[in-house]
Amino acid sequence: MGRLTGPLGAGTDVRFPAILRQMSLVFDNLHKRFGRIQALDGLSLEIPQGHIYGFLGANGAGKTTTMRIALGVLRADSGALAWGGVDHRRLPRATWGYLPEERGLYPKMTVLDQLVFFGRLHGMPADRAARTANEWLTRLRVPDFATRKAGELSKGNQQKVQFLAAVIHDPEILLLDEPFTGLDPVNVVLLRQAILELRARGKTIVLSTHQMETVEAMCESIAIIDRGRTVIDGTLREVKRSTGRQSVLLATEIGHDLAWTGDLPGVRVIRPGLDRVELGLDPGTEADAVLAAAIARNVPVRHFEVADPSLEQVFIELVGHPADVDTSLAPIADAAQGQDADHGGGQNAGQNAGRDAGQNAGQNAGRDAGHNAGQDAATQESPAA
Amino acid sequence: MIERSSDRPDPILPNTGIVARREFTERVRSRPYAASTVLLSLLAIFVSFLPIIVRLVDRDTTTTIAIVADDPSLAQRSESIMRGVLSTTSGGSPDSWVFTIETDREAVKTDVSEGRVDGALFATRGASGRLDFTFLTGQGLGADRTQFVAIGTFAVAFLEWTDLVNPSGSVPFLPPTLNVLAGAGPTAGGVPLAATEIASRQLLGTVLIVILFLTMTIYGMWVAAGVAAEKETRVMELLISAASPRQLVLGKVVGIGLAGLVQYVAILVPAMIALALQRPIAEFLGLGSGINPPLSGITPGFILAYGSFFVLGFTLYALIYAAAGSLVSRVEDLQVIALPMSLLGIAGYIQAVLALSGGLSGFIRVASFIPFWSPFVMFTRLTVGRVEPWELVLAYALLILSIGLVAALAIRVYAAGVLLYGQRPGPRRILRAVINPNG
């Protein structure tokens, strides 16, 4: 199951079974060029029906272009895109629900009018659209928003309304582009629950985000794309194990003194911390060797946990940066000199976003994973899993 | 291989109607809409009352009339009678009328056409003794003064009858004939129109053309601003996933067009009432009864022509404005695009004004068929009665054809433009959008 493509996946093209493909969203060898920029370069994916599918990539990797092609807003230069075997342009527009990354509503229109407007555009009768809108507003604990103008709401609340505009017509497929950005923690939880509930009702959800924690918590399957190509796709566990690496989460009585790890071959510090550190193990390096080394050096170990690498680590390893780029913060003087240097803006932006977002993701996933590290956070949190 | 994007079902209805309804509701509920309706109504009423206002201001205007008669005594008699009668009846000062006696008919006609005199009165006595007058009017002569001349000719004939023709009372009075010709004004099929009719239609045409130009420009900008605002607020991202560019463009044009039409009626009705009340108001103000009722030229056909030119003209301009609005990222940036758009309309408006004043050069005739200008120019020609049926049909046909063509292009530009952010809409980009909206 799953498929590895690109540098790590060459030759391991194992697709979903044919019966499943008939019920899936298939992107097949999509190409799209804007002038001199090759936005999509043979992108291929298969997203099973009823899954929450993490769609990851650095800025400029081609995520939004892919979504716009799916919606019919853009036309691919070549390739095919089908849902349940039907070409996407023959599907009714209401098949799709789209939450764009750029937020926007009619500022002078009331929330209810706005939701009814979008519901009607997708073919809903006005009364049913109003009823559904009110139900959703109540479920998101903002029933009083109905009569308020969108321009009067905070950005986070506008985002909730926009999410409702994407789902009000009960689409089969939801394309959510950074749905949690700008939301406070309470609203993140609310929106997560709403998305999980939609998945439980059989909706297929494509979740594009830089928040690795979110992906690990919600997605059964993911794809990482880079420069318009699929680098890897498959179940979350498969992707996390695709690098052949493991992580060790370690807490000791001597805190952040990690000098002793420098002597261990195939071991590097991924995330230093006062309370707990994350060590990355190269393929072939046994986790037990780390524990043995600590004991041999009389390092008092409080916590020792073997886990899959965080999604952030996988992302960085697969697309984040070439080996010769230092991911540590550059000195101020160097930064000033290098302001104009072109290191590939989109790629670096993606690295940063991934690094930032993944800080907590790895910790949470690791904490929940236990010593054997087989379980991933998404599996534990998802009620439908 | 990906097929054409038109494979997706893309019916015009109901989404065009839904978008149109939203646009209409948003417009008519807005404060700027109410404010502009009031302002434009007041402007239209002001323009309608211009003849009265001008008359009030120009009480002391001097009108020079050349009198030519076969019989020198008739010329002399006409001059003295008309001077006496008109100086008392027209309400002006004693110097408001100047009459000169001339002998060379052709020279006088030239004087009229070139504006050296305001009009020429040709008097002849028939075999029956009846006086026949032909009044050649110049450009500066309004309908009111023409009517005073008519009163004067009646006085000349009556006094001629009492003093000369019928001292014994055995010959019945024969009212004079008065044929009013436009010496420097428009003609229809080579036949000059009556000056009173021309003046009436010119006034009406001016009011309607001003309203037509203002509303088409304003409503066009509404469309452009609406599209630009949807981009600026980023609601466009949601919209394009819910409806096709065709549905969005047409919905916006229809919705704003209907809002404009409602405002149009709100503007036009008080203006028409003001025009209808001109004569009683003029009489009330002691300005005489010389103001011709301007609504006399309005017929159902005239209203139909005006309405259709407004609808078709607005549609043509609104489509271009919609495409233009899609090319900018912020409403403020519209100024860059609005200027050339406005110039296009102003060019048509200026030609319409020229046509109203009586000129019908070859260029104006051609301009009246050019779709961007025909709503102004052809309507103006229609107002002053100079259009052959085939000309009208051709103008409509070209206008409708252009709307179809411009709609197709505008939708392509819109489809590409709504996805562009932070890029200047240069000619190359627009051309590329037309050729390949998805690329």
Dihedral pair phi/psi, residue B151, rounded to 5°: -65, -40
Amino acid identity of residue A175, one-letter, is L
Q: Token digits for B67?
A: 């009198």
Tokens 């197709």 appear where?
B408
Strands A277-281 and A246-252: antiparallel
| Alpha-carbon separation of residue B64 from A360, B53, B72 (angstroms) | 96, 22, 19
- The Cα-based distances of B141 to A275, B103, B120 in angstroms read 100, 22, 11
Question: B350 at the A interface (CB within 8 A)?
Answer: no
Which of A83-97, B281-295, B379-393 is predicted with the least confidence, judged by mean pLDDT?
B281-295
- Compute the distance between CA of residue B18 and CA of residue B24 in angstroms, rounded to an integer: 10
Compare B266 and B296 and report the one with higher pLDDT: B266
Contact A89 B5 (CB under 8 A): yes
Residues 6+ apart with CB under 8 A from A21: A15, A46
- Residues on chain A touching B242 (C-beta within 8 angstroms): 93, 118, 121-122
Query: Does residue B429 carry a pLDDT above 60?
Result: yes
Contact A245, A238 (CB under 8 A): no
Neighbouring C-alpha atoms within 13 Å toward the C-beta of A91: 23
DSSP element (H, E) containing A119 = helix A111-121
Which tens digits make up the pLDDT trace of B325-339? 988 888 888 887 778
Q: Note whether A74 contacts B438, CB cutoff 8 Å.
A: yes
The distance of B3 to chain A (nearest Cα, Å) reads 8
A124 in contact with chain B, both atoms CB, cutoff 8 A: no
Core vs surface per residue A272-301: b (16+ CB within 10 A) or e: eeeebbbbbbeeebebeebbeebeeeebee
Which residues face A301 on adjacent strands? Answer: A252
C-alpha–C-alpha distance, residues A188 and A193, integer Å: 9
Does B303 score more than 60 pLDDT? yes
pLDDT at residue number A346: 34
* pLDDT at residue B48 in the model: 75
SS3 A21: helix
Distance of alpha carbon A141 from alpha carbon A112, whole angstroms: 14
CB contact under 8 A, B2 and A108: no
Of chain B residues 360-399, which have a CB less than 8 A from chain A?
Answer: none
Contact A313, A354 (CB under 8 A): no
| Residues in A touching B11 (Cβ below 8 Å) | none
Per-residue pLDDT, averaged over B420-427, amounts to 66
Q: Which of B3, B19, B234 is facing A102, going by the closest CB pair?
A: B234
Is the minimum CB–CB distance between A28 and chain B shorter than 8 Å? Answer: no
What whole-number distance in Å separates Cα of residue B177 and Cα of residue B190? 22
- In degrees and rounded to multiples of 5, residue A174 shows phi and psi of -115, 125
Nearest to A100 among B22, B238, B243 (CB): B238
CB contacts < 8 A, A to B, total: 88
- Give mean pLDDT, residues B113-125: 86
- In the numeric block, which tokens belong to residue B42? 């007041």
d(CA A371, CA B121) in angstroms, rounded, equals 117
CB A97 within 8 A of CB A173: yes
DSSP state of A222: E
Interacting residues of A37 by C-beta distance below 8 A, sequence separation 6+: none
Positive/negative CA dihedral, A83, A88, A94, A98:
positive
| Cβ-Cβ contacts under 8 Å, A75 against chain B | 2, 5, 438-439
Q: Which helix (H) or strand (E) holds A250?
A: strand A246-252
Rounded CA separation A173/A124 (Å):
17
pLDDT of residue A235: 92
pLDDT in tens, A270-319: 878 777 888 888 888 888 888 888 888 888 888 999 888 888 888 888 88
Tell me: the pLDDT tens digits for A141-179? 999 999 999 999 998 899 999 999 999 999 999 999 999
Please tell me the distance in Å from A80's CA to the nearest CA on chain B. Answer: 6
Min Cα–Cα distance to chain A from B235, Å: 4
pTM exceeds 0.95, yes or no: no
Task: Please name the residues in contact with A323: beta carbons below 8 A apart, sequence gap of 6 or more.
Answer: none
Interface with A, mutate which of B23, B30, B241, B419 (most A CBs under 10 A): B241
Identify the pLDDT of residue B360: 56
Contact check, Cβ <8 Å, B5/A72: yes
Q: Which residues contact B40 (CB under 8 A, 6 or more apart)?
A: B211, B214, B215, B263, B267
Least confident of A130-134, B241-245, B394-398: B241-245
Do B118 and B129 touch, CB atoms closer than 8 A?
Answer: no
Angle at B334 between CA B215 and CA B436, to 5 degrees: 105
- pLDDT of residue B93 exceeding 80, the answer is no
- The set of residues, in sequence order, having a beta carbon less than 8 Å from that of A142 and lying 6+ positions away, is A157, A160
A341 Rama sector, left if φ>0, alpha if ψ -120 to 50, beta otherwise: beta
Cβ–Cβ gap B237/A34 under 8 Å: no
Nearest to A93 among B234, B242, B419 (CB): B242
A224 DSSP β-pair partners = A56, A232
The residue written with tokens 């939004």 in the block is: A64
Q: What is the pLDDT, as a whole number, of residue B208?
A: 81
- Which chain A residues touch B234 with a CB distance below 8 Å? 100, 102-104
Q: Is residue A205 within a helix (H) or strand (E), and if so which, with residue range?
A: strand A204-208
Position B51 pLDDT exceeds 80: no
- By C-alpha distance, which of A70, A168, A39 is closest to A114? A168
- Residue A221 · residue A236 · CB < 8 Å: yes
Q: Tell me the chain A residues in contact with residue B237 when contact means C-beta distances shorter than 8 Å.
A: 98, 100, 102, 104
Interfacial A residues in 239-258 facing B (CB < 8 Å): none
Would you say residue A262 has pLDDT above 60? Answer: yes
SS3 assignment for chain B: CCCCHHHCCCCCCCHHHHHHHHHHHHHHCCHHHHHHHHHHHHHHHHHHCHHHHHHHHCCCCCEEEEEEECCHHHHHHHHHHHHHHHHHHCCCCHHHEEEEEECCHHHHHHHHHCCCCCEEEEEEECCCCCEEEEEEECCCCCHHHHHHHHHHHHHHHHHHHHHHHCCCCCCCCCCCEEEEEECCCCEECCEECCHHHHHHHHHHHHHHHHHHHHHHHHHHHHHHHHHHHHHHCCHHHHHHHHCCHHHHHHHHHHHHHHHHHHHHHHHHHHHHHHHHCHHHHHHHCCCCCCCCCHHHHCCHHHHHHHHHHHHHHHHHHHHHHHHHHHCCCCHHHHHHHHHHHHHHHHHHHHHHHHHHCCCCCHHHHHHCCCCCCHHHHHHHHHHCCCCCHHHHHHHHHHHHHHHHHHHHHHHHHHHHHCCCCCCCCCHHHHHHHHHCCCC
Residues 47-76 of A with CB under 8 A from B: 68, 71-76
**Residue A108: which of A142, A144, A153, A156 has the closest Cα?**
A153
Give the residue from chain A lying closest to B245, CA to CA. A73
pLDDT digits (tens, 9 = 90+) for B78-90: 888 888 777 655 5
Q: How far away is chain B from the Cα of A339, in angstroms, using its nearest Cα?
A: 23
Residue in chain B lying closest to A115 (CA): B238
Mutate to test the interface with B, among A40, A89, A170 (most CBs of B within 10 A): A89
Whether omega for the bond prior to residue B175 falls within 30 degrees of 0, making it cis, is no
CA distance B223 to B435: 23
Which two three-digit tokens encode residue A216?
């690990």
pLDDT of residue B398: 96
Chain A CB within 8 Å of residue B331 CB: no
8 A C-beta contact, residue B2 and residue A77? yes
Q: Cβ contacts (< 8 Å) between A162 and chain B: which residues?
A: 238
The pLDDT tens digits of the residues spanning A204-217 come to 999 998 888 889 99
CA distance B143 to B51: 10
Greater confidence (B142 vs A334) lies with: B142
CB of B26 within 8 Å of a chain A CB? The answer is yes
- Please answer yes or no on whether A121 and B5 come within 8 Å at the CB atom: no
Spatial contact of B62 and B74, defined as CB atoms under 8 Å apart:
no
Instruction: Write out chain B residues lying below 8 Å of A91, CB-based.
Output: 8
Query: What mean pLDDT comes out for the span A343-371?
Result: 34
Q: B422 and chain A: CB distance < 8 Å anywhere? A: no
Question: In terms of Cα–Cα distance, which of B135, B166, B174, B173 is closest to B152?
Answer: B135
Sequence-distant (6+) residues with CB within 8 A of B149 are: B65, B82, B86, B119, B121, B135
Q: Residue B238 and residue A166: Cβ atoms within 8 Å? A: yes
Rounded Cα–Cα distance for residues A170 and A129 (Å):
10
Q: In this structure, how many other beta carbons lie within 10 angstroms of the beta carbon of residue A92?
A: 12
Integer Rg of chain A from CA: 22
* φ, ψ at A107 (rounded to 5°): -65, -30
Are residues B138 and B183 in contact, defined by beta-carbon separation less than 8 angstroms? Answer: yes
Q: In this model, does residue B190 exceed pLDDT 80?
A: no
pLDDT at B192 (0 to 100): 52
Across all residues in chain A, what is the average pLDDT? 79
Q: The tokens of B110 are what?
A: 């030239």
